[in-house]
Structure 1
Amino acid sequence: MTATTSAYIQQAASQLQQGLLEPAEKLLNQLNMSTPGHPDVLHLLAMAAKQRGDHTRAEYYFRESLKAAPHQAAVYANLANMLSDIDRADDAVLSYKKAVEIEPAFATGWHNLALILSDVGDHDGALAAARKFEALAGQTAQTAELFASVHQHAGEMKAAKKALEGALKREPNNARLWNVLGALLRRSAEFTDAAEAYEKARSLGLRDPDMFQNLAEAYYENADITKAVTVLDDAVKAVPDSGALHYVRAKFCWEAMPGEDHLAALKQAIPKQASNISLWGAYFDLLSHEGRFEDILKGLSEAYRFNIHAPRLSLAEAVALSRTEKVEEATAVFEELLRADPDSAPPKLNYAAHLMKAGDPEKAEKLCADILANDPGNQKAWTFRGTAWQLMGDERAHWLFDFERMVNPIDVAAPDGYESRAAFFNAAQQELDALHRMQSHPLDQTLRGGTQTNGFLFRLKNPVVQELYAQIKKAVKEVISGFPDDPAHPFWGRRGEGFDFSGAWSVRLKSQGYHTNHFHPEGWLSSALYIALPEEVKAGSGTAGHIQFGVPTMEMGIELAPGRIVKPEVGRLVLFPSYMWHGTIPFSSNEPRMTVAFDVVPKP
């Protein structure tokens, strides 16, 4: 390699580090023509393609670089990083293993191998890799975090806590370690200790937005809503440019303090940072959840005065135009978004919803098919594609939305020690009632006229909640065991060797309360378990308070009849595909309607 070639390679590497993608790629392509097969050039071309989001091309260049020079630990590691990012964990494991095989003293390689092995469930392998990292890096804070992560993934919370506490004895003023300990304690439902750990991190100068949010939620879980609000007020002062923190504060105030202006702090912050896109984005997202689309358009006019232009704002404009019946204007903005970034899924999905509302399900279906070609597991694309099929009269709609076979009601048994199922679910209601601390429904969720618990319900150490969790797991396992073997199907085909819960919460609806028709984009199997029902729902002859399937959200303006309606009964669990439209029909009663809901994801 000539000195000139080496200098050009260094120049291209520097450009990539600075985010100067186009000049870097131009220079690298020239180098690839003048010095074909050069491993460093191919490696940098791979990194450029990865930075652009073209993972197929990136993998090609990584592997070409390794063909040219097989003993490159760094290239194997970077390939593994990318494979991990695109959920190819097994391939990532192989690549990390190759990296540390080539370079046994590659500490970062052992560190990342430990994490990915932990992710795929190889606990022994993860611990062995973590010990290799410790041998190379010593007993550092990073080592303690690694062991804590590996133990936590295996459910060994005491061992994870011990690793962090040992490190804090050595480094008592390490704010990051206190923050990690707070997260571990919060996950273990030790909320008082979690708040103390987060406060220690804050006192040591940590100003991480996630820390503020988690501290506020720890206080909330301790039923100290006043402290939670104070923390979030402090947060937006400490990190005033964080749209995410402003969003969390506004959402929390909406639920905790009805009647207050939950947007006040955000509206005060925006004029001081008028070019801050994250603040504008948070503001428009919050307005969208309230259905205030005219206000979004007014806000966008103000933002554009500051010469702010970003895909996030253009998408907000397109959706607001669609929701305010400005069909042609919305279509024009959506088309411009797709021309600017043809591979981006969010504009395509929102455009698909707009097209179905405008009477063009064929084009909507094609957009969804394009997304699924690159991302077969995109739940929202399956929901919208199925809806388009229904509007087109395509028989594939029944293949995707088989309401009779896919909606599975099952009665949950009471555990030993209760005289009846009624006694068990009455006890569950009493325990869950105490967890409903807010005054209003979550701003960004689908329920109306009620409240929802915070965080992962099944992490709580409440004995009745844990009994309920155990009985739910048995019922879910029974239902899944009866699923057909159909590997090509986007629902049936996802069944794995087991399952995990990716979220769990309780909802308490009051009179005229309901869930808007919706789906769950992150789950596989979703649910409604009825804990308590008003007499009007239990004894009524109509469908008030029932759960319905197959009706799209009202905002789409699509007239489709329910594919199935299920009457709730106390102790009955209804399981269904997460991508299936579902919602609650309003009811009238002085008694609440309480459910526990959760999402299930398959284990590989």
Structure 2
Amino acid sequence: MTNGQSPFSIPVTPSVSAPQRQRIQALIQQALTFQTRGQLHEAEQILLQVLAVDASEPDALQLMGLIAKRNGKLDQAEQLLRRSLVINSRQPHVNYNLGNLLKDTGRPAEALPFYEKAILYKADYAEAYTNRADCLTTLAGTDAANARSLLETALPLYRRALQLQPDFVGARVGLAEAYLQLNEPQQAEEVLRAGLTRLPNDFYLNNSLGTALRRQQRFEEAAPHLKRAAERAPDRWQIWLNLGNTFLALGQMDDAIVCFKKVVVLDPANYAAQSALNQTLWETGQHTQLLNSYEWAKERKPNDPELLKMAAEAYILFGRHEEAEANIAAVAALEPDAPALPRLRTTLLLAQQRVEEALEAARQGLVAAPDDQLLLHRVAESALRLNRPAEALEAAHRLDAVARDSQFAAAFQATAYRLLGQPDPRGLYDYDRFIQSIDLAPPAGYTDLAAFHADLMAALDAQHVATHEPIEQTLRNGTQTRENLFTRVGVAPAIQALRDSILAATQRYIAALPDDPDHPFLRRKGQSLVWAGSWSARLRDQGYHTNHIHPEGWISGCYYVDMPDVVKDAEGKQGWITFGAFAQGTGATLPWERAVQPRPGLLVLFPSYMWHGTIPFHSAQTRTTVAFDIGGRT
């Protein structure tokens, strides 16, 4: 290339005679035939003949670009498509194909103007409308500030594509996905059901409708559509993952395991499936199969760093520390500067009770990533366990600065002040002010609490289907329900009645709180309330909850449904909920400062950042509660 020459400049070709032009057109048609048959080498050889005669033939250039793309030569493909457009910018199909290449290589913003040109020169180009809208929805997923505007721009593009082609499944699914991102699942459902009236067995539409119904927690309705999708497209791991999670929500644990195993076979490094599979195996007591899926996957993808990272994380969770260490070492050999390495090392060292080393590893990680929330969390936690509250307090303040409303930041600050022997200047753990115990009256339609709790227990019994506690949760010797108990469509009337009673009591609790824009708990007063989570926990003999906080909440609470008789013992306090205790493995500990005696019908509300747990109890009777987190949104 001579100095000053554009990289996309076209060699000067002598004028092509009419016979040559006819010959070129015939060769291009022949190349198209080979390309359609998948005989790319033959097509390429013919196109090279064309370009030898006319190096600026735009159709030959764009076809060569498509062949290069099929062969994985993406840079060459892009250059050829751009050269074709330099010669003739008014080619809708070439603009469309270049847009596709940019979209497929993760450059949706760059793809947009080429789809616009494709539409400009071909007003009925349904695929271009759809792909332009797809790029906008992709950008919405990475640009929270402009997400709504981007999605609302995408909606009419999808609708236009469907006007042109009512059976265009990609446009219909894209439109539904945009509605889901806008948190309008009913609109998504309407769009998809309209498509299924025309194409009832389409796997794509059935999977998308199942997803929309799952978003509304209408699991019973979602399952048949997802089953139909899986039957039609058994090689699509996304469908099996959706179906597996739906089975989990329905309590069909063995069916869920089958689905997750299918995902792993199709996509061995699928984080969601690997995690769900092994946690479900744990909860159903199938412990001999635990973590086998990671070893199977590593045999097939031995040098996949993402797989090794997720395997290390799982081995830490399940307490198999030597194997976790081996996986971390394998990651380090492949990606010595991987950002995940300090997080994995610190988490493993804490699990091994090597707290001093964990603190140093977290500090080293913060050198490269000073705002890493998990590493700041690990520094604060490690410093507290080493009884270095001043260092913990500094890390907690840094965490609060980078993660506003972090419940861990508040918990670590309050704990650091206690270890320092100093009063907390903001009174974060003001138990008298913030913990409230309320006896809820039986809901309307029930003559007494016993009748209400009989219906409530029957509804909860149907959802306690596991045999073992979740490995990642705080309860020991018990079970916990899945999904968000209070937001599930079609939930039992007794659960709905409890939800409404709790919400009303919480609203009264909030109204009585003082206004304080500088307090981590009080400053959220006035935000709209959302159920960040709700579940039922059932403890058996020697069951308890380890001391913990609720990082997803603002206000947390527990409603007591059925209690063992031993909770009446005010001296032993078996099964009582406690507040303020700090005990995270070895190292410094702090005793609980407030204990509340549970009884059926009692609701206890408290800030989500307060350390709380339960005292173990010994009884053949079980202890059943409904717990929840309420979040606030501005």
Equivalent in the alignment of 1:557: 587
Structure-2 change in CA distance of 1:86 and 1:563 (3 Å): farther
How far residue 531 of structure 1 moved from its aligned partner, in angstroms, is: 0.8
Structure-2 change in CA distance of 1:571 and 1:388 (3 Å): same
Asked if structure 1 preserves the Cα contact closer than 8 Å seen for 2:556 and 2:605, the reply is: yes
Equivalent in the alignment of 1:480: 510
Larger Rg: 2
Structure-2 change in CA distance of 1:277 and 1:585 (3 Å): farther
Q: 1:527-553 deviations in whole A, cap 9, x for unaligned?
A: 111110001113554211011111124
Q: Quick one: distance in 1 between partners of 2:241 and 2:439? A: 37
Equivalent in the alignment of 2:401: 373
Equivalent in the alignment of 1:110: 152
Aligned partner (choices 418, 426, 435) of residue 407 of structure 1: 435
Q: Which moved more, 1:375-384 or 1:478-487?
A: 375-384
Q: Quick one: distance in 1 between partners of 2:7 and 2:440? A: 69
Helix, strand or coil: the match of 1:508? strand
Q: Quick one: distance in 2 between partners of 1:551 and 1:419? A: 39
Equivalent in the alignment of 1:590: 620
Asked if structure 2 preserves the Cα contact closer than 8 Å seen for 1:111 and 1:146, the reply is: no
Q: Quick one: distance in 1 between partners of 2:442 and 2:465? A: 27
Helix, strand or coil: the match of 2:628? strand
Equivalent in the alignment of 1:569: 599
Is 2:575 aligned against 1:533?
A: no
How far residue 111 of structure 1 moved from its aligned partner, in angstroms, is: 3.6
Equivalent in the alignment of 1:134: 159
Q: Quick one: distance in 2 between partners of 1:302 and 1:155? A: 41
Equivalent in the alignment of 1:342: 370
Q: 1:119-163 deviations in whole A, cap 9, x for unaligned?
A: xxxxxxxxxxx5686358746657655775787799986654332
Helix, strand or coil: the match of 1:399? coil
RMSD: 3.5
Q: 1:278-320 deviations in whole A, cap 9, x for unaligned?
A: 3223333233333444543344345556666623233222232
1:334 is matched by which residue type in structure 2? A
Equivalent in the alignment of 2:421: 393
Asked if structure 2 preserves the Cα contact closer than 8 Å seen for 1:494 and 1:602, the reply is: yes
Equivalent in the alignment of 1:32: none
Equivalent in the alignment of 1:420: 448
Asked if structure 2 preserves the Cα contact closer than 8 Å seen for 1:111 and 1:133, the reply is: no
Structure-2 change in CA distance of 1:329 and 1:234 (3 Å): same
Aligned partner (choices 249, 258, 264) of residue 277 of structure 2: 249
2:396 is matched by which residue type in structure 1? C
Equivalent in the alignment of 1:182: 210
Structure-2 change in CA distance of 1:294 and 1:599 (3 Å): same
Q: 1:349-387 deviations in whole A, cap 9, x for unaligned?
A: 112211222232222221222232233222222222222
2:324 is matched by which residue type in structure 1? I
Is 2:523 aligned against 1:493?
A: yes
Q: Which moved more, 1:455-464 or 1:140-149?
A: 140-149
Percent same amino acid at aligned positions?
A: 31
Q: Which runs of 5+ in 2 are unaligned?
A: 9-72, 74-105, 107-134
Q: Quick one: distance in 1 between partners of 2:317 and 2:431? A: 29
Structure-2 change in CA distance of 1:430 and 1:392 (3 Å): same
Q: Which runs of 5+ in 1 are unaligned?
A: 9-17, 19-50, 52-77, 97-107, 113-129
2:152 is matched by which residue type in structure 1? W
Equivalent in the alignment of 2:537: 507
Q: 1:66-116 deviations in whole A, cap 9, x for unaligned?
A: xxxxxxxxxxxx999999868657xx76xx3xxxxxxxxxxx56346xxxx
Structure-2 change in CA distance of 1:319 and 1:186 (3 Å): closer
Q: Quick one: distance in 2 between partners of 1:79 and 1:402? A: 48
Q: Quick one: distance in 2 between partners of 1:80 and 1:269? A: 32
Q: Quick one: distance in 1 between partners of 2:153 and 2:202? A: 20
1:530 is matched by which residue type in structure 2? Y
Equivalent in the alignment of 2:632: 602
Equivalent in the alignment of 2:318: 290
Aligned pairs, number = 505
Q: Quick one: distance in 1 between partners of 2:237 and 2:188? A: 23
Q: Quick one: distance in 2 between partners of 1:318 and 1:145? A: 42
Q: Quick one: distance in 2 between partners of 1:245 and 1:150? A: 25
Is 2:599 aligned against 1:580?
A: no
Helix, strand or coil: the match of 1:521? coil
Structure-2 change in CA distance of 1:136 and 1:488 (3 Å): farther
Helix, strand or coil: the match of 1:457? coil
2:533 is matched by which residue type in structure 1? G
Structure-2 change in CA distance of 1:448 and 1:218 (3 Å): same
Is 2:548 aligned against 1:518?
A: yes
Asked if structure 2 preserves the Cα contact closer than 8 Å seen for 1:386 and 1:397, the reply is: no
How far residue 597 of structure 1 moved from its aligned partner, in angstroms, is: 0.9
How far residue 413 of structure 1 moved from its aligned partner, in angstroms, is: 2.0
Q: Quick one: distance in 1 between partners of 2:456 and 2:250? A: 19
How far residue 254 of structure 1 moved from its aligned partner, in angstroms, is: 0.5
1:330 is matched by which residue type in structure 2? A
Structure-2 change in CA distance of 1:425 and 1:210 (3 Å): farther
Asked if structure 2 preserves the Cα contact closer than 8 Å seen for 1:275 and 1:308, the reply is: no
Equivalent in the alignment of 2:576: 546
Q: Quick one: distance in 1 between partners of 2:433 and 2:544? A: 25
Q: 1:379-414 deviations in whole A, cap 9, x for unaligned?
A: 222222222222223422662221221112112221
